[in-house]
Amino acid sequence: MQLDRFRIARNTIFGAIGGLAGWAVISLLLRFETTSTPLLLLKDALLGALVGLCIGLAIGAADQTADGWARRKLPRIGLSGLIGLGAGLVGLVIGEVIFLWAGGGVWPRAVGWAIFGLLLGVGQWPVTGLQNKGVYAGLGGLLGGLIGGATYERLSLTLLGLGAGRELALTVGGAVGLVLLGACIGLFIGLVETILRRVWLRFVYGPLEGKTFTLDSGRPVITLGRSDVCDIMLRHDPEAGAVHAAIATSGGAFTLTPRDGPVALRTTGAAQPVTTRILQPGDTIQIGRSRFVFETGVEHVGESQQ
Amino acid sequence: MKQMALRTTLLTGLGVFAVLWTLLMGIGVSGVSPAAGDARKDAAQFGAGAHIMYVDESNFPDVTVYLAVNDGGGQPILGLEQAEFTLHEDGEPVDITAFVGAGGGATSTVLVIDQSGSMGNEDKMGGAIRAAQGYMDSLNVGRDRLGIIVFSNWSLTLAPLDVVTDSGRAVLRGLLGALIPLAGTEFYAATIEGIKLLDDVDGRRVVLTLTDGMDNGGQARLQETIDAALAANTPIYVVGLGSDVDRDGLTQLATATNGQVHFSPNAAELEQLYASIASNLRNEYALTYHSLTPNLDGTRRDLAVDIDAAGGNISASGGYAVGGILASSLNLAVFLPTLLILLAVLVGLLFVPGVTHPRIRRQNTGELAATLRPDVVIDKSSEPGAQPEIIAPPREAPRPAPSLTCVVTMPLAAEATTLGSAPHNTWVLNGAGVAARQARITLNSNRYVITDLTGLSATQVSYNGSPEQLRPIQQNALRDGSRIVLGDVALVLRQTPTGAALERRLPLPASGLRIGAAPLADITVSSPQPLAIRIRHDGQHWMVECEVGQCQVSYSGDPAQLRPVTQRNALQPGSLVQVGALALRIEAA
Series of mean pLDDT values for 10-residue runs along chain A (306 residues): 79 92 90 79 90 91 85 88 89 83 74 82 77 77 82 78 74 82 82 80 83 82 86 84 85 83 71 76 84 73 36
Euclidean distance between CA atoms B23 and B177, whole angstroms: 49
pLDDT one-digit tens code per residue, A259-278: 877 787 777 666 667 777 88
Per the CB < 8 Å rule, is A270 touching B378? yes
Residues of B in contact with A9 (CB under 8 A): 349, 355-356
Amino acid occupying residue B425:
N
Task: Give the mean model confidence (pLDDT) for residues B564-580.
Answer: 84
Contact A123, A84 (CB under 8 A): yes
For an interface test with B, the pick among A26, A143, A267, A306 (most B C-beta atoms closer than 10 Å) comes out as A143
Helix (H) / strand (E) element for A174: namely helix A166-196
Using DSSP bridges, classify how beta strands B489-496 and B483-486 pair: parallel, antiparallel or unpaired: antiparallel
Q: Which residues of A255-276 are buried (b: 16+ CB within 10 A; e: fewer)?
A: ebebebbbbbbbbeeebebbee
Instruction: Report how far Cα A198 is from the mean position of its chain's Cα atoms.
Output: 17
Put residue B512 in one of left, alpha, beta given phi > 0 → left and psi -120 to 50 → alpha: left
**Does A35 contact chain B (CB < 8 Å)?**
yes
- pLDDT value for B364: 38
**Signed CA dihedral, B396, B400, B403, B405: sign only:** positive
Spatial distance between the Cα atoms of A131 and A125, rounded to a whole number of angstroms: 5
**CB A222, CB A200: distance < 8 Å:** no
Residue A134, chain B, CB below 8 Å: the answer is no
Integer Cα distance of B186 and B209 in angstroms? 12
- Most B-contacting residue of A1, A11, A13 (CB-CB within 10 A), to test interface: A13
Say whether residue A87 is in contact with chain B using an 8 A CB cutoff.
no
ipTM above 0.95, yes or no: no
Check pLDDT > 50 for residue B34: no
Which residues, in sequence order, are CB contacts of B490 under 8 Å at separation 6+? Answer: B483, B484, B504, B505
Q: Is residue A147 within 8 angstroms of chain B, CB to CB?
A: yes
- Pairwise CA distance, residues B47 & B231, whole Å: 29
Q: How far is A272 from chain B (nearest CA, A)?
A: 5
> By the CB < 8 Å criterion, does A175 face chain B?
yes
Tell which of A28, A31, A34, A274 to mutate to test the B interface (max B CBs under 10 Å).
Answer: A34
Radius of gyration of chain A (CA): 22
User: How close A52 comes to chain B (CA, Å)?
Assistant: 13
From the list B468, B461, B421, B470, the residue with the least C-alpha distance to B441 is B461
Q: How many CB atoms lie within 10 A of CB B298?
A: 24
Query: What's the distance, CA A112 to chain centroid?
Result: 20
pLDDT, residue B376, reads: 40
Assess whether pLDDT exceeds 90 at residue B300: no
Please indicate if any CB of chain B lies within 8 Å of the CB of A24.
Answer: yes
Residue B332 distance to chain A (closest CA, Å):
10
> Mind listing the pLDDT tens digit for each residue in B48-91?
678 888 888 877 788 898 888 887 777 888 888 888 888 888 88
Q: What are phi and psi of A150, to 5 degrees?
A: -65, -40
Residue B364 one-letter amino acid: N
Residue from B8, B326, B332, B345 whose CB has the most chain A CBs within 10 Å, to mutate: B326
Strand B204-211 and strand B107-114: the pairing is: parallel
Q: Using the beta-carbon criterion (under 8 Å), do B18 and A35 form an inter-chain contact?
A: no
Chain B contact for A15 (CB, 8 A cutoff): no
- Is the Cα dihedral B97, B103, B106, B108 positive or negative? positive
What stretch of H or E contains A97? helix A74-101
Looking at chain B, which residue has its C-alpha nearest residue A30?
B328
In angstroms, rounded to a whole number, what is the distance separating the alpha carbons of residues B31 and B321? Answer: 8
How many CB pairs below 8 Å do chains A and B form together? 248
A204: closest CA of chain B, how far (Å): 10
Would you say A94 and A114 are in contact if contact means Cβ atoms under 8 Å apart?
no
> What is residue A109's predicted lDDT score, i.e. its pLDDT?
79
pLDDT at B440: 92
Sign of the alpha-carbon torsion through B386, B391, B394, B395? positive
pLDDT class of B131 with cuts at 50, 70, 90: very high
pLDDT value of residue B379: 39
pLDDT of residue A149: 80
| Residue type present at position B184 | G
Of the candidates B196, B193, B110, B175, the one whose C-alpha atom is nearest the C-alpha of residue B145 is: B110
Question: Quick one: CA dihedral B515, B521, B527, B529, positive or negative?
Answer: positive
Residues 244-283 of A with CB under 8 A from B: 258, 260-264, 266, 270-273
| Subunit contact A195:B11, Cβ cutoff 8 A | yes
- Helix A5-29 crosses helix A166-196 at what angle (to 10 degrees)? 150
3-class DSSP state of B189: helix
| pLDDT score at B312 | 65
Half-sphere exposure at residue B7, Cβ-oriented, CA atoms within 13 angstroms: 16
Closest-CA distance, B26 to chain A, in angstroms, reads: 5
Q: What is the mean pLDDT of chain B?
A: 80
Query: Residue B587 pLDDT more than 50?
Result: yes
Quick one: closest CA in B to A243, which residue? B396
What is d(CA A60, CA B303) in angstroms, rounded to the nearest whole number? Answer: 46
A95/chain B closest Cα distance in angstroms: 7
Q: Do the chains contact at A195 and B10, CB–CB below 8 Å? A: yes
Query: Checking DSSP bridges between strand B96-100 and strand B285-290, what pairing results, if any?
Result: antiparallel
- pLDDT confidence of B28, banded at 50, 70, 90? low
Cβ neighbours of B357 in A, within 8 Å: 6, 210-211
Backbone angles phi, psi at B563, to 5 degrees: -130, 145
Residues on chain A touching B34 (C-beta within 8 angstroms): 103
Instruction: Round the CA-based radius of gyration of chain B to a whole number and report it.
Output: 52
Distance from the Cα of A254 to chain B's closest Cα (Å) equals: 20
pLDDT score, position B384 = 41
A20 touches chain B (CB under 8 A): yes
- In chain A, the N- to C-terminal Cα span, in Å, equals 17
Each residue's pLDDT tens digit, A156-189 = 778 777 777 777 777 887 888 788 888 888 887 7
SS3 A288: coil
How close does chain B come to A285, measured CA to CA in Å? 9
**% helix, strand, coil for chain A, step of 5:** 55, 15, 30
Angle between helix axes A5-29 and B332-351 (nearest 10 degrees) is 160
Q: Is B572 helix (H, G, I), strand (E, B) or coil?
A: coil
DSSP class of residue A93 equals: H
Tens-digit pLDDT profile for residues B346-385: 999 988 887 877 775 544 344 344 444 444 433 333 334 4
Q: CB B26 to CB A106 under 8 A? A: yes
| Per-residue burial over A139-171, b = 16 or more CB atoms within 10 Å of its CB, e = otherwise | bbbbbbbbbbbbbbbbbbbebbeeebebbbbbb
Please give the residue of chain B at the shortest CA–CA distance from A114: B18
Distance CA(B295)–CA(B304), nearest Å, equals 20
Strand, helix or coil at A151?
helix
The closest alpha carbon to B107, from B286, B254, B321, belongs to B286
For residue B120, count CB atoms less than 10 angstroms from its CB and return exposed for 0-12, middle for 13-18, buried for 19 or more: middle
Is B355 in contact with A13 (Cβ distance < 8 A)?
yes
What is the per-residue pLDDT across B148-182, written as a single tens digit (0 to 9) for each? Answer: 999 888 888 988 999 999 898 899 988 888 888 88
d(CA B308, CA B84): 5
Task: State the pLDDT at residue B35.
Answer: 40
Among residues B527, B544, B547, B550, which one has the least CA distance to residue B584? B544
Q: What is the separation of C-alpha A226 from the centre of its chain, rounded to a whole number of angstroms?
A: 24
- Residue A188 touches partner B, C-beta closer than 8 Å: yes
Question: Is A26–B90 a contact, with Cβ atoms under 8 angstroms apart?
Answer: no
Longest CA span, chain A: 73
> Which residues are within 8 A (CB) of A34 and not within 5 positions of it... i.e. 6 or more apart?
A40, A42, A43, B295, B296, B324
CB B263 within 8 Å of CB B247: yes
Strands of B242-338, DSSP E = 260-264, 285-290, 300-309, 312-321
Sheet holding A263-266, edge to edge: A212-215, A199-205, A290-296, A284-287, A263-266, A272-273
Q: How confident is the model at residue B491 (pLDDT cuts 50, 70, 90)?
A: very high
**Does the distance separating the beta carbons of A102 and B231 come in below 8 Å?**
yes
Q: Which is it for the CA torsion B207, B213, B216, B217, positive or negative?
A: positive
Q: Return the pLDDT at B46.
A: 56
CB atoms within 10 A of CB B110: 29
Closest CA to B14 of A59, A143, A160: A143
Three-state SS at A212: strand
A44–B22: do the CB atoms touch at under 8 Å? no
Q: What was the pLDDT predicted at A306?
A: 33
**pLDDT score at B268:** 85
Give the strands of the sheet with B427-428, arranged side by side. B427-428, B416-420, B439-444, B447-452, B475-478
Alpha-helical runs (H) found in B40-145: 124-138
CB atoms inside a 10 Å sphere around CB B179: 21
